[in-house]
Amino acid sequence: MIDFLFEYGIFLAEAITIVISIIVVLIVATSLLKKDKDKDEEKLEIINFNRKIKSIRRTFEKQTLSKKDFKKLVKTEKKEQDSQKNKRVFVLDFDGDSNASVVDSLRKEITAVLNFATEKDEVVVRLESPGGVVHGYGLGASQLKRIRDKKIPLTVSVDKVAASGGYLMACVADKIISAPFAIIGSIGVVAQVPNFHKILKKNDIDFELITAGEFKRTLTMFGENTDKAREKFTEQIEETHTLFKDFVNLNRNQIEIAKVATGEYWYGQKALELNLVDEIKTSDDLLLEKSLEAEIFEIRYKKKETLAEKINSSISLLIEKTISNLVFKQKNLH
């Protein structure tokens, strides 16, 4: 019994010590946050793709060639460097989720590029997205259109998937490149609304929805849906689909829109046959080819992790470990 009380006392002491530690961390964090408040949280990162590839190649050559051949190669490359490439290619990445949350970064990257890109240059967007919200991907497409409006050639490269909203964005490009097994298309609209009205009714739970305007709400999750509401909801979905089809047709008039706007998707080779894409090639091969004639710059707009975010992550991890350890020790005490 005495041993149990002693161990339990140690257990409580450890718990109190950890709580105090967390409080101290929070006090220090609050102080540091005031100092960190005015620091820039975002930055534009520019990576020279040509140099990156050259560095990889140089490492390989150094390991595989004789010293004599390696020196000869380096001397030859130095002479070639004197003739600088006039064309520039700016590479942006778009890895979209259902909310198109990375559109915000994309718009900043495009704004940065448009500040110094000319009609002689080119923009390549490596795009990956299964689609998502209409307004988000519509804004994404509008951002890419800014490049076209400046008459700067735009190429979209798809290695894995550009479906639905992803294809809405891709179709803006002058040229679409697709990997052989990339998923392309899905020109359609879908909406799903679960309804719990029967469950609520069964349990005698009332749900009231008050609106002004006949179609302020059509289908609801908790109220009783009517045929009239379903018809209006379907009408809205059809209108969105028509907008989608018209937008694709406007940007890629070589497509037989009635044939591809069924909501289906196709893999790269079939997508090429349907004129949904222009060429079968990976983004890696595309950039390697372009690096022979142009200077390539990868543009990233990065949001710096704030001190608050770092501290929150650390505290969450500390609390998680603490709870885990205390639970484990408490089990052992019994």
Q: Which residues are catalytic?
A: 164, 216
The whole-angstrom separation of Cα 70 and Cα 85 is 24
Amino acid present at 134: V
Torsional class of 95: left (φ above 0), alpha (ψ -120 to 50), beta (otherwise): beta
For 281, other C-beta atoms within 10 Å of its C-beta total 17
Torsion angle in degrees (nearest 10) through CA of 240, 245, 249, 252: 100
The whole-angstrom separation of Cα 15 and Cα 9 is 10
The whole-angstrom separation of Cα 67 and Cα 190 is 62
- The tokens describing 297, both together, are 């710059």
